[in-house]
Structure 1
Amino acid sequence: MNFFRHRLTGLPVLALLITVVGCSSADDGARAAVPSPGAKVAGLCRKLDKVLPAKVDGQGRRDPEPASALTAGWGNPAIILRCGVPRPAQMSDPEADGVEVDGVGWLLQKQQDGSFHFTTTLRKAYAEVTIPVGRTGDGMAPLVDLAPAVKKAIPTGIAD
């Protein structure tokens, strides 16, 4: 999958300086919608939250707002994990793109803004990882870092 092998170029220096100067620390927090799964899936997601790595793709954990055991984040721009998301409709498409990373299957969905959503497949709960456009140049590294936790916390099978 060549889309991960290309590094994205940064913003021009002036735009970067304006962004850095114009943002306070209160403004740079990521936000993520908190899923609302059933009790069984929520329990698996809480288990996942306890075993997630402190670093993903070399970036420290910085959870998004609002705080929840069903969401996690790393770095800025943030790689966001949301656990307990609904089954994506695209999983029914036999032409859908998928990858397997260290024993964990993922549905790949490229977004219009250039970011990517990866959603676990064949697990008892769906976990979605969003890799923002500014972080896609690092390839599958975030999924490599997350796979051991997913395997440990979310058993294989079909989510209800």
Structure 2
Amino acid sequence: MSRHRRPFSLLAALTALAVPAVAGCSPGGAEARVDLPSDPPADVAGLCAALHKELPGTVAELDRSPALPESDLTAAWGGSAIVLRCGVRKPAKMLDPEQDGIEVNGVGWLVERLDDGGVRFTTGLRLAYTEVLVDKEHATDAGMLVGLSDAIAKTVPEGISSY
């Protein structure tokens, strides 16, 4: 992943995100069905539990929704419009130096455009990898990463996860 040291630019991020996110959008109060990360180690799960407590109640003007099954490893906003999974494995694309990334409030994010028009953001250089899937409709609001980045910076220390 390319680690450009550039400050968060909403305009640049909006331009980069003008395309892609996650299918199954159901903004409103609907619940989100979320696949749990595959059995993360206890130390990673502990960091995810701390993150879960700090996550914002609103992201991109969408209220928090139930994520099912209920877990400290997952969260959702606007039904399945924005879905977070903490404790995921390191994405293979993170090893590709040509991959695009952005930095928001001190947290680096790998940016992947998905075939369905959505975007997947995955944190890098943290002791627990966190993935945020965003549906096509909300992929143009890069400001959503501000509150999520603040919570991650507060609870998941910098480092390289072995998971």
TM-score category, normalised to shorter length: 0.7 to 0.9
Bigger Rg, structure 1 or 2: 1
Contact 1:107–1:121 at 8 Å: present in 2 too? Answer: yes
Aligned length: 140
Question: How far apart are the structure 2 equivalents of 1:76 and 1:68?
Answer: 15
1:34 aligns to what?
36
The Cα of 1:78 is off from its aligned counterpart by 2.2
1:100 to 85, 99, 103: 103
Residue 149 of structure 2 is aligned to residue 147 of structure 1: yes
Residue 93 of structure 1 aligns with an amino acid whose one-letter code is D
SS in 2 for 1:118: strand
The Cα of 1:5 is off from its aligned counterpart by 4.5
Unaligned runs of 5+ in 2: 1-11, 20-25
Residue 123 of structure 2 is aligned to residue 120 of structure 1: yes
Question: How far apart are the structure 1 equivalents of 2:94 and 2:66?
Answer: 27
Contact 2:33–2:80 at 8 Å: present in 1 too? Answer: no
1:10 aligns to what?
none
SS in 2 for 1:151: helix
Residue 133 of structure 2 is aligned to residue 130 of structure 1: yes
2:53 aligns to what?
50
The Cα of 1:125 is off from its aligned counterpart by 0.3
Residue 157 of structure 2 aligns with an amino acid whose one-letter code is P
Residue 126 of structure 1 aligns with an amino acid whose one-letter code is Y
Question: Greater shift after overlay, 30-39 or 41-50?
Answer: 30-39
The Cα of 1:77 is off from its aligned counterpart by 4.4
Question: How far apart are the structure 1 equivalents of 2:159 and 2:80?
Answer: 32
Give percent identity, aligned residues only: 46
Residue 98 of structure 2 is aligned to residue 73 of structure 1: no
TM, length-normalised to structure 2: 0.81
Question: How far apart are the structure 2 equivalents of 1:141 and 1:63?
Answer: 22
Unaligned runs of 5+ in 1: 7-18, 20-24
SS in 2 for 1:84: strand
2:7 aligns to what?
none
Considering only aligned residues, what root-mean-square deviation do their CA atoms show, in Å?
A: 1.7
Residue 97 of structure 2 is aligned to residue 84 of structure 1: no
Residue 159 of structure 1 aligns with an amino acid whose one-letter code is S
